[in-house]
Amino acid sequence: MNKLVMMNGIDGSNFLFPIGGKGSGFYFSMLIIMFICLFFCFLLSAKIEDKQMKSYTRQFLVATTLGYTIGFLNVFPQSKLLGSSLAVIVFATSIFITIIRIHQKKIKSMNDEIKKHQEFLRTTIDMNPSLIYAINEKKEFTLVNKAFAQLYKKVPKELEGHSVEILYDEKEEQKLYEINEMNEQCVPEEITLNKNGNKIWLQSVKIPIEAYNDEKIILGVSTDITERKKQEEEMKYLAFHDTLTGLPNRRKFNIDLIEFTENAKTHNKHFAVFFLDLDRFKYINDTMSHATGDTLLSLVAYQLETCSEENEDFLVYRIGGDEFTIILPNSRAIEAELFALKILKKFKEPLTIKGNPLFITPSIGISIFPEDGENAETLMKNADTAMYFVKEKGKNGYKLFQSDMKETFYRKMMIEKGLRKAIDAEEFTLVYQPQLDLKNNVVIGAEALLRWNSEEFGMVPPSEFIPVAEEVGLINQIGEWVLLTACKQCKEWNIEGRDPIKIAVNISMKQFLEGDFVYKVSRILDETQLNPTYLELEITEKIAMTNHEKVIEIIESLKSLGVRIAIDDFGTGYSSLNYLGKIPIDVLKIDRSLVKNISLNNKNATIVQSIISVTKKLQIDVIAVGIETKEELQYLKNMDCYTGQGYFISKPKEHPFS
């Protein structure tokens, strides 16, 4: 049989496989090729790494094989088209199922990837310390990270999908989704309340965007800048306030004074500027420690802030050291004076530090706008000038600025200028006031006294230029020149053949407390070859009472050189016989205030007698200073005071023996 023929086929068509005869070779060749291809396809499918895709491929190959196999039913005539139909159905179904599964896998894979990205983004957003949120047009949170939720003691799920009204009132709510009129990104600084009800500062970036469903939302990212704002506020505070007292500082004072001046000009008003300097603060600070000084300044600041029991509008500033300023609005001279009296009254009672009472007083200078100046600089300068006048007149008081003060202040500036060139210009000279042995009427010493014959001013009294020299820091240089010149002169006198005398030199506090003072004395003695026993250094009671331990240390170092130490001006207000036994001095000089009219003043006579008695027991020599009458001289001799100096004995002169 060469071929199968369907005798009763539809329309005579032949749908049978040619398994023999013409065309059978092609059929079997295709069959062999198919099985070979299927075999190699199975082999190649093993190389597919994706397990799911490998499975799909093999399922397709199996379906193809199955379909082709079903097609063999066509060898049976009675099957008619059933074999081909089933083969097509199986093949088509397998292709459809495979494609569907491939697409399902891709969709699932894409969804899994999206979910992973969402989880990653969610984790990233939640880990971000910034406050992140999104709000839709319905004013509902569509996104909230942990940091934002924790700010209000919530978790994100409690906020997402809910209205912002659960957290904010209408005013605060508006801040969350407000953007500028151009619907552009904005970065405002906002204040809100945290979970504890405390105010916090936020810097927020707000961006209007469109969501996937064309819904407009606002994405906000806020950073907590509370600490930064605190630091900024602290820096701003420190820039304009004194850290010790908490008062506004010099910078703030300058700004306020300019504003007050401009405002007063505009509205035709008056106000007063007070410049305060504490009396003897440096002495207290050096004597009792800097910590005590700081405490004292804080107490002074409080006293100034509370100096008026009335509700007066005034501003207090600390502009540096022991200097304070006050601005008193709406004040003329009379109101300013009344206010100054209130300040002075505050300091009549001692301030208590660690249980110890401590007296401190202010010197106050006052200038009035516009009488004493129409700008801040002039007002401050004039108040400062008035304050210095108070200092010179005895301190612990106030003074309104007067125009003639400028002349005095100008002279003081010129004195300072002249002092700076006086040494090089050889304008300084020394004169010597003899110290007399009253018993034997013999000169035993001389006190060196500084004189300044200025080329510009003529003879300038020491009472005028010495305070200026101390104030501007020239006293050490001048004092060293005096000490060197006096030692040279004493050496010359003592080699002239007569009995040697001692030379007394006054030492200022700054000079004495200078770190290398003992070294300078030693160097000058070596340079001049003066026997140290003929040098007597005079220090004031104030020096002796300052920084007691340090003073004793310096005195002992000087005495180890062989130098004699004298206390000058004993009896001028700091006197205490108790410390005489504690300080290793050689000489005590009784001040002229006790010597004057001693024969007529029983009180002074009693004091002098007590001093003489105590010093004799302590083996301290006594010199009476300022003897101006024969009666005073005789009275002192009768009290067994045998050394003196004064105008009655001799005025200061170039040579004590002339």
What is the CATH number for 310? 3.30.70.270
Find the domain containing 221 and state its range. 128-230
> Looking at the predicted structure, is the pLDDT value of residue 527 above 70?
yes
The CA distance from 200 to 586, in Å, is 71
Q: What is the pLDDT of residues 370-428, one digit of tens each?
A: 999 999 999 999 999 999 889 888 889 999 999 888 887 778 888 988 998 898 889 99
DSSP 74-129: GGSGGGTTHHHHHHHHHHHHHHHHHHHHHHHHHHHHHHHHHHHHHHHHHHHHHH-S
389 within a domain of the structure (yes/no): yes
205: CATH: 3.30.450.20
> Looking at the predicted structure, is the pLDDT value of residue 548 above 60?
yes
Q: Could you tell me if 148 and 293 lie in one domain?
A: no
Q: Could you tell me if 312 and 431 lie in one domain?
A: no
465 within a domain of the structure (yes/no): yes
Q: Could you tell me if 468 and 614 lie in one domain?
A: yes
> Looking at the predicted structure, is the pLDDT value of residue 636 above 70?
yes
**Alpha carbon distances (Å) from 536 to 412, 429, 449, 588:** 32, 19, 13, 11
Cα–Cα nearest to 275, from 382, 360, 359, 369: 382
113 within a domain of the structure (yes/no): no
Any bridge partners for residue 199, and if so which? 193
pLDDT at residue 501 in the model: 92
As a whole-number percent, the residues of the chain with pLDDT over 70 amount to: 86
Q: Could you tell me if 299 and 168 lie in one domain?
A: no
115 within a domain of the structure (yes/no): no
Last residue of a domain, one of 86, 102, 118: 102
Q: Could you tell me if 200 and 281 lie in one domain?
A: no
Identify residue 611 by its one-letter amino acid code: I
123 within a domain of the structure (yes/no): no
Residue 114 phi/psi, 5° resolution?
-60, -40
562: CATH: 3.20.20.450
623 within a domain of the structure (yes/no): yes
The CA distance from 200 to 190, in Å, is 8
pLDDT at residue 81 in the model: 63
Sign of CA dihedral 166, 167, 170, 175: negative
Cα–Cα nearest to 438, from 608, 601, 646, 617: 646
The CA distance from 109 to 127, in Å, is 26
Structure tokens at 354: 């660690």
Q: Could you tell me if 464 and 599 lie in one domain?
A: yes
**Alpha carbon distances (Å) from 216 to 135, 138, 176, 368:** 9, 10, 14, 64
Q: Could you tell me if 226 and 248 lie in one domain?
A: no
First-last CA distance in the chain? 176
- How many angstroms from the chain centroid is the CA of residue 378? 29
| Alpha helices per DSSP H over 347-474 | 376-392, 405-422, 462-472
236 within a domain of the structure (yes/no): no
Q: Could you tell me if 385 and 263 lie in one domain?
A: yes
Q: Could you tell me if 387 and 425 lie in one domain?
A: no
239 within a domain of the structure (yes/no): no
Structure tokens at 612: 């003489």
- How many angstroms from the chain centroid is the CA of residue 567? 44
Last residue of a domain, one of 64, 85, 102: 102
The set of residues, in sequence order, having a beta carbon less than 8 Å from that of 68 and lying 6+ positions away, is 34, 87
Q: Could you tell me if 383 and 428 lie in one domain?
A: no
pLDDT at residue 116 in the model: 87
Sign of CA dihedral 101, 104, 109, 110: positive
Q: What is the pLDDT of residues 200-217, one digit of tens each?
A: 888 878 888 877 677 788
More confident residue, 285 or 65: 285
Confidence of residue 13 (pLDDT cuts 50, 70, 90): very low
Q: How many structural domains compose the chain?
A: 4
Q: Could you tell me if 282 and 425 lie in one domain?
A: no
pLDDT at residue 184 in the model: 56
Identify residue 521 by its one-letter amino acid code: V
The CA distance from 23 to 31, in Å, is 13
pLDDT at residue 480 in the model: 95
DSSP label of 371:
T
Q: What is the pLDDT of residues 240-270, one digit of tens each?
A: 999 999 999 999 999 999 999 999 999 999 9
What contacts 24+ positions apart, CB below 8 Å, involve 165-171? 165/139
> Looking at the predicted structure, is the pLDDT value of residue 478 above 60?
yes
Last residue of a domain, one of 230, 263, 288: 230
Any bridge partners for residue 212, and if so which? none
Q: Could you tell me if 618 and 474 lie in one domain?
A: yes
Identify residue 399 by its one-letter amino acid code: K
Confidence of residue 473 (pLDDT cuts 50, 70, 90): confident
The CA distance from 32 to 286, in Å, is 118
More confident residue, 279 or 213: 279
